[in-house]
Structure 1
Amino acid sequence: MESVTPMDDAEAIARSLEGDLSAYEVLVARYSALAHRTAVLFGARDEAEDVVQEAFVKAFRHLASFRRESEFRPWLLRIVANETHNLTRARGRRAELTVRLSATAEVKAPDDPEGAAVATDRRARLLEAVRALPERERRAVLCRYFLQLSEAETAQVLGWPVGTVKSRTYRGLARLREEAGHELG
């Protein structure tokens, strides 16, 4: 029996460019959940599925322009971020962040009900504080800590220099710390 070797991104991209649609399906399967989470975090809400579908279609159409020495994940997430921005701009109002607990890392609730209530309240206050950040700081914090992207990947996704990612992340975290300090004091 022949063993099946998992296809890495570079091979899937090369085969996709040769017309192998099943190779592109590997990329879609590998990155769909992350792309969906990105769209939701950036404000797509109920339309996240449409944004993700459009992003994958655009990525396929522009795959020939993908720089092979780059990583596929941040390139794709930049397309998702742009599609989400286009959607929210088309709505005609400021993008509003809708973060669902399922979009964040799984957090095990404490065994005691009081502890669970406190943990839930803390998460809700943190998410409200993140929603209240200025858009650019919010996007930097979301990419770095909710999507767990590196500074370089965040820069690529958002189309910013790495220094800008660092400063906006720093300012966003400082505002969150300040907010936490106000609630404790």
Structure 2
Amino acid sequence: MISAGDEAAVLARVRGGETAAYGELVMLHAPVAKRAAVFLGAGADADDVVQESFVKAYRALDTFREDAAFRPWLLRIVANETRNVLRSRGRRARREESAVLHDVVLDPADQALSNERRAELLAAVQALPDQYRLVVTCRYLLELDEQETATVLGWPRGTVKSRLHRALGRLRAQLPDKEVQR
């Protein structure tokens, strides 16, 4: 994994006209961008969302603050692009989204969970209202910290905290016999 300093150097090379250096950022961030798109609801359109997000990010690099982290900024674009896709394609059956979610390859620790428990948890997360599903997705499925989640979702940090608290409370109520992180 490249460090923040190395990432800043790559961004400086891209801004300096070395367009091929952008490929390094794509290779580094494409997996989390795809996970974000899938978990935020892009489903089968996740690859298209990621590709369009990287194109938009490249075109908007001049608006990217040099002191900011690239990943949350990119994931904010992914979240917005996912919303655009969802709006434009209308409603698809929940069954299709669930099928895509079950096919996502997760971390080795997540793979250790039984398929039944993972399916139950994902179904409970998917059943949450959007504001809660989004915050749980960012914090736990994408492993973003509070500030990164706030950046991705465009919410104040306090809103992230309160919605996460409420979302976990709802999950605890839905899954009373399961351990839900506090």
Q: If the length of structure 2 is used for normalisation, what is the TM-score?
A: 0.86
Return the offset for 1:146: 0.5
Map of 1:123 onto structure 2: 118
Asked if residue 161 in structure 1 is aligned to residue 156 in structure 2, the reply is yes
* RMSD across aligned positions (CA): 2.2
Rg comparison, structure with higher value: 1
Counterpart code for 2:143: Q
Identity score, percent? 51
What is the alpha-carbon distance in structure 2 between the residues aligned to residue 28 and residue 45 of structure 1? 20
- The count of corresponding residues between Structure 1 and Structure 2 is 171
Partner of 1:43, secondary structure, is helix
Aligned residue identity for 1:52: V
Q: Structure 2: any 5+ residue segments left out of the alignment?
A: none
Q: How far 1:150 moved relative to its partner?
A: 0.3
| Unpaired runs of at least 5, structure 1 | 110-115
Question: What is the deviation of 1:68?
Answer: 0.6
Taking the aligned partners of 2:58 and 2:22, their CA distance within structure 1 comes to: 8
Q: CA deviation at 1:124?
A: 1.1
Matched, 1:173 2:157: no
Give the equivalent residue in structure 1 for 2:107: 105
Q: 2:91 aligns with which of 88, 93, 97?
A: 93
- Give the 4+ runs in structure 1 shifted more than 6 A: none
How far did residue 103 of structure 1 move? 4.4
**TM-score, scaled to structure 1:** 0.85
Bigger share in helix: 2
Measured against aligned partners, the alpha-carbon deviations of 1:95-139 in whole angstroms (never above 9, x if no partner) come to: 955423534332354xxxxxx8xx221111111100000001000
Q: Distance in 1 between matches of 2:111 and 2:41?
A: 26
Matches within 5 A, 1:51-70: 51-70=49-68
2:19 matched residue in structure 1: 21
